[in-house]
């Protein structure tokens, strides 16, 4: 969808020439930076998006990079002589390669372009050879120092964005006024124009999301101190989960664990009606009680209902008062005290809480950034992963969940925000739970990438014994920067408050094992018809 035509953009050529120069064996060349410099070019413009002499030269430089990867002692050095020798044996194939675009180059210069004619093809070979050698000589003459080439990344980035902007304007005009082909697809008219803009936005976001992933040394001590200072801000809790095993590693020493922190992606997995939304609402209330701004994407619920549920949870967390949904619906059901509490809660919550029905899979990153620029929120909850708009039906939503995972990774890495996503379990996770087997790491429905990108993953589970006591288990599967919680955590449900409650007396190993044993017996009862005498020994 991104259109790159380097042959008609001198600014993009100048930017690329600097990086190509740093790959050539002049006096300022250092092969230690070879791979990093080449990857930096392709971070913005992919090899197959180049054409003409740029494609040929960069393709040869890439082949040398592959040799460097395979052979530890190999130092790539593309001399002018070795380039000439390579072109002499490969130029005819290059002329015929559609990626090179030799026909377009000839037509642009008003020359015969029918490469089926032998004389035309021969002239094209001479011309492409000359253009490639001229490009090499231009870049070599710049003698760009390899170790400082990355200082020119802003120039390359600006040239790339300017080029894409210009090309996209021409394409948009073509779509609106006539038509434009992309592969086998034809875009024409207003609807296709909007579809083009959406896809262009997605591709550009994905292209730029990894632009800072280059390698550089730290520099002086002061720069190291600045890095450590920035790290400290990531470990200041926005709020506590209210679960000691998660909030702290060592209860006596109060060693920081992983409470609700900025720059983290957390995934809550559970079956339908297991309590995923309730868990998200409970944590939202805890954040609001700490005066943190929260965005809540409610998906399949309604704006009014989710607001009422968050208020109920907030009143329980903040005031430890247990109200009912009827108190939210009708003031006539409320005492003066309840009306006062409800009014205070609304005053405290309304400026901190932002509700949105749904984001979109294709534009999630930009939508989150736009909301952050307006609200500067501290946390965002997505309830749930299949509730965004524009899901792909071709692959059961996998590509959509993959996009969402990448966008959330980029967003939480760039902005000081806690991100929590509710997800249904994967088929493997569901089967493991039903058979009481160990659940693997990739537990999210649709795509394992969501669990892979997460900093923490939790599974909500229950069984017959726990349901009878209005309890459930919270099992930790993954946890960056802290050890995984070894035993399931048992939480007491508070349905009317849309919250859970941690009780230390329920966390003993024997209590957990007893609950699991009762669950196993219940499964046997269901399998064998529930005969009360089935497990009793006959008396002799």
> Considering the chain, what percentage of its residues have pLDDT values greater than 70?
87
Distance CA 300, CA 312 (A): 19
pLDDT: is 367 or 519 the higher one? 367
Any alpha helices (H) in 109-152, and if so which ranges?
A: 118-142
Distance CA 209, CA 412 (A): 11
Distance CA 533, CA 47 (A): 72
Instruction: Write out the H or E segment, with its range, that includes residue 73.
Output: none
Domain 234-526: homologous superfamily in CATH: P-loop containing nucleotide triphosphate hydrolases (3.40.50.300)
- What pLDDT score was predicted for residue 515? 57
- What pLDDT score was predicted for residue 249? 61
Q: pLDDT at residue 13 above 90?
A: yes
Q: How many helices (H) and strands (E) does the chain have?
A: 20, 13
pLDDT digits (tens, 9 = 90+) for 502-517: 998 888 765 565 655 5
Neighbours of 273 (CB within 10 A): 8
**Contacting residues for 496 by C-beta, under 8 A, at least 6 apart:** 312, 322, 323, 324, 325
pTM of the predicted structure, to 2 decimals: 0.65
pLDDT digits (tens, 9 = 90+) for 464-473: 889 989 999 9
Domain boundaries, the chain: 6-209, 234-526
What is the pairing mode between strands 379-383 and 418-423? Answer: parallel
- What pLDDT score was predicted for residue 224? 76
- What pLDDT score was predicted for residue 535? 38
Distance CA 161, CA 60 (A): 26
The dihedral region occupied by 101, where left means phi > 0, alpha psi between -120 and 50, and beta the remainder, is left
pLDDT digits (tens, 9 = 90+) for 38-57: 989 998 999 999 999 999 99
Place of tokens 């090499």: 136
pLDDT: is 271 or 432 the higher one? 271
- What pLDDT score was predicted for residue 482? 83
pLDDT digits (tens, 9 = 90+) for 286-302: 999 999 999 999 988 89
Q: pLDDT at residue 24 above 90?
A: yes
Query: Can you point out the beta strands (E) in 463-538?
Result: 471-479, 489-494, 499-502
Any alpha helices (H) in 178-210, and if so which ranges?
A: 190-209
Mean pLDDT on 342-370? 93
What band does 320 get if pLDDT is binned at 50, 70 and 90? very high
pLDDT digits (tens, 9 = 90+) for 77-109: 999 999 999 999 999 999 999 999 999 999 988
pLDDT digits (tens, 9 = 90+) for 399-453: 899 989 988 998 898 889 999 999 999 887 777 666 556 666 678 998 989 999 9
Query: Do 327 and 346 meet the contact criterion of CB atoms below 8 Å apart?
Result: no
Q: pLDDT at residue 534 above 50?
A: no
Supply the mean pLDDT for the chain: 86
- What pLDDT score was predicted for residue 255? 53
Mean pLDDT on 219-247? 79
Query: Do 477 and 454 meet the contact criterion of CB atoms below 8 Å apart?
Result: no
Distance CA 213, CA 153 (A): 12
What band does 344 get if pLDDT is binned at 50, 70 and 90? very high
- What pLDDT score was predicted for residue 532? 46
- What pLDDT score was predicted for residue 522? 52
Q: Please tell me the least confidently modeled range out of 256-260, 486-490, 525-529.
A: 525-529
pLDDT digits (tens, 9 = 90+) for 164-201: 888 899 899 999 999 888 877 888 999 888 888 877 87
Distance CA 397, CA 333 (A): 44
Q: Please tell me the least confidently modeled range out of 117-121, 155-159, 208-212, 271-275.
A: 208-212
Render the burial of 312-343: b for 16+ CB within 10 Å, e for the rest: bbbbbbbeeeebebebbeeeeebeeebeebbe
Q: pLDDT at residue 525 above 50?
A: yes
**Contacting residues for 461 by C-beta, under 8 A, at least 6 apart:** 270, 274, 433, 472, 473, 475, 488
What band does 538 get if pLDDT is binned at 50, 70 and 90? very low
């Amino acid at each position: 969808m991104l259109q790159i035509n380097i042959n008609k953009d001198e600014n993009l050529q100048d930017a690329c020439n600097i990086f190509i120069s740093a790959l050539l064996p002049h006096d300022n060349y250092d092969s230690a930076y070879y791979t990093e410099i080449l990857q930096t070019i392709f971070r913005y413009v992919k090899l197959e998006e180049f054409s003409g002499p740029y494609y040929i030269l960069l393709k040869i430089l890439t082949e040398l990079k592959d040799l460097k990867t395979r052979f530890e002692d190999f130092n790539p050095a593309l001399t002018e002589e070795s380039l000439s020798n390579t072109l002499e044996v490969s130029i005819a194939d290059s002329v015929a390669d559609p990626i090179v675009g030799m026909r377009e180059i000839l037509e642009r210069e008003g020359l015969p372009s029918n490469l089926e004619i032998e004389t035309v093809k021969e002239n094209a070979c001479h011309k492409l050879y000359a253009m490639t050698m001229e490009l090499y000589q231009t870049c070599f003459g710049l003698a760009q120092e390899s170790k400082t080439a990355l200082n020119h990344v802003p120039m390359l980035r600006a040239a790339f964005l300017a080029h894409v902007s210009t090309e996209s304007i021409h394409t948009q005009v073509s779509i609106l006024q006539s038509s434009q082909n992309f592969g086998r697809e034809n875009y024409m008219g207003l609807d296709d124009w909007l579809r083009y803009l959406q896809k262009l936005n997605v591709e550009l976001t994905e292209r730029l999301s990894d632009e800072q992933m280059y390698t550089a040394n730290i520099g002086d001590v002061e720069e190291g101190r600045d890095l450590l200072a920035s790290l400290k801000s990531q470990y200041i809790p926005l709020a506590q989960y209210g679960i000691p095993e998660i909030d702290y590693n060592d209860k006596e020493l109060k060693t920081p664990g992983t409470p609700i922190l900025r720059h983290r992606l957390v995934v809550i997995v559970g079956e339908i009606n297991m309590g995923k939304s309730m868990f998200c609402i409970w944590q939202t209330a805890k954040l609001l009680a700490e005066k943190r701004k929260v965005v809540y994407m409610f998906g399949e619920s309604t704006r009014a209902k989710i607001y009422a549920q968050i208020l109920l949870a907030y009143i329980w967390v903040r005031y430890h008062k247990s109200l009912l949904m009827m108190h939210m619906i009708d003031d006539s059901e409320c005492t003066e005290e309840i009306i006062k509490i409800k009014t205070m809660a609304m005053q405290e919550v309304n400026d901190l809480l932002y509700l949105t029905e749904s984001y979109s899979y294709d534009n999630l990153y930009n939508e989150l950034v736009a909301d952050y620029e307006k609200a500067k929120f501290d946390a965002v909850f997505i309830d749930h992963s299949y509730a965004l708009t524009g899901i792909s039906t071709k692959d059961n939503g996998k590509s959509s969940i993959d996009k969402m995972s990448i966008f959330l990774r980029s967003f939480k890495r760039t902005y000081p925000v806690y991100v929590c996503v509710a997800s249904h379990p994967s088929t493997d996770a569901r089967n493991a739970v039903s058979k009481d087997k160990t659940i693997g790491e990739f537990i999210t429905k649709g795509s394992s990438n969501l669990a892979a990108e997460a900093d923490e993953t939790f599974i909500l589970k229950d069984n017959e014994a726990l349901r009878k006591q209005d309890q459930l288990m919270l099992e930790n599967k993954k946890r960056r920067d802290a050890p995984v919680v070894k035993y399931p955590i048992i939480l007491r449900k508070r349905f009317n408050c849309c919250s859970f409650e941690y009780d230390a007396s329920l966390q003993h190993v024997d209590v957990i094992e007893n609950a699991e044993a009762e669950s196993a017996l219940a499964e046997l009862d269901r399998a064998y018809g529930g005969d009360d005498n089935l497990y009793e020994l006959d008396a002799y």
